Amino acid sequence: APPAVISIYLGDQLTTILETLSKEGNCEKRVREVVKMGTTILPELPKDLTDRNRTSPIAFTGNKFEYRMVGSSQSMAGPNIFINAAVARVLGEAADRLEAATDKEAESHRIISDFYQNHKRIIFNGNGYSEEWAKEAKKRGLPHYEDTVSALPQMASEKSLALLESQEVLSRGETLSRLEIYLEGYSKQIDVEASTMIEMCRKEIIPAMITYLGTLSEAIWKQEAMNLTVTKQKDLLTLLNEALGDTIEGVDLLHRAVEAAKGIRENPMARATAYRDTVVTRMEELRTHVDLMEIHTDKHVWPIPSYDDLLFRL
């Protein structure tokens, strides 16, 4: 998945063309590069001029834009509303300028130049995951909303509301109602995940670990009775016992956080914020304790399939 910083990948060739046109220069034909295979046996293959950048949220590939920011379980319909509305407005602006121009070809060049110069800060053809890009994006003033709850309110910004109204796509009330629906969906999703986590811990992980600690304690006691050194075994027992205690406490804290978030009924934004700031945080804390127990527990005792089981043993 691409990073949350909004940017567009055009590829070096198209970016160079736009840069040249915006400065009223002449485009020079470039020698097409070949893919280096590392062997002389295979024939040389021409490198795609719009080679895909998988770290870009929006990438131009050949003859289309790929929009990669939507989650795997989400619909593209919502983002398409905003994309189509924005494109329609810009095309309208371009059409107005062309219709009023006497020299349409010269005006078309000016339109391309103006649009590119005004918005080229969003073009980035490098590695979207790099720390350098995060700093550069901040310097360019590009949006960077790292979570759903931070991003959704942008639907209700004056700029977004005015855009949709000007294109007669959605009224303010219709946009705000969709915002509430999205916030409610987020809260319900986190609530389901947190409740599932609590149930898995209470009904499977905690009982299994209590039984395993009993078995481990008995084994250490027998080894000690035979005058064997059990220092490391006792360290392991202590580690698991402390992690189990932290897990039991973490489940209780998570349950309280969920109940507190559920209690916020009047304000969808406040409820979603509570789920993000408290419930998700408690879930992450609880996971660290459970992960610690998992890596130190007999796999035949652990009640839940591991990633290894899911990937290679089903």
Q: What value does the mean pLDDT take over residues 197-223?
A: 97
Query: What's the rounded Cα separation, in Å, for the pair 20 and 183?
Result: 44
pLDDT in the model for residue 308: 87
Go through 118-138 and write b for each residue having 16 or more CB atoms within 10 A of its CB, e for each that does not: eebebbbbeebeeeebbebbe
pLDDT in the model for residue 196: 98
Question: How much of the chain, in percent, has pLDDT values that exceed 70?
Answer: 94
pLDDT in the model for residue 44: 73
Read off the amino acid at residue 185: G
Range of weakest confidence among 68-72, 116-120, 177-181, 216-220: 68-72
pLDDT in the model for residue 31: 63
Residue 275: pLDDT over 60 = yes
CB 212 within 8 Å of CB 298:
yes
**What phi and psi values does residue 69 have, to the nearest 5 degrees?**
-90, -10
Residue, of 13 and 1, whose pLDDT is higher: 13
pLDDT, one tens digit per residue, over 59-99 is 888 788 888 888 888 888 988 999 999 999 999 999 999 99
- CA 190 and chain centroid, separation: 15
**Residue 58, SS3?**
strand
Domains in the chain (CATH in brackets) are: 8-144 (no CATH), 186-312 (1.20.120.1560)
Q: How long is the chain?
A: 314
pTM of the model: 0.85
pLDDT, one tens digit per residue, over 8-61 is 998 888 888 888 888 766 656 666 677 776 777 777 777 666 556 778 999 888
Question: How much of the chain, in percent, has pLDDT values that exceed 90?
Answer: 71
Residue 153: pLDDT over 70 = yes
pLDDT in the model for residue 297: 95
Q: What value does the mean pLDDT take over residues 151-173?
A: 95
Determine the Cα angle at 190 with ends 186 and 195, to 5°. 150
Residue, of 257 and 36, whose pLDDT is higher: 257
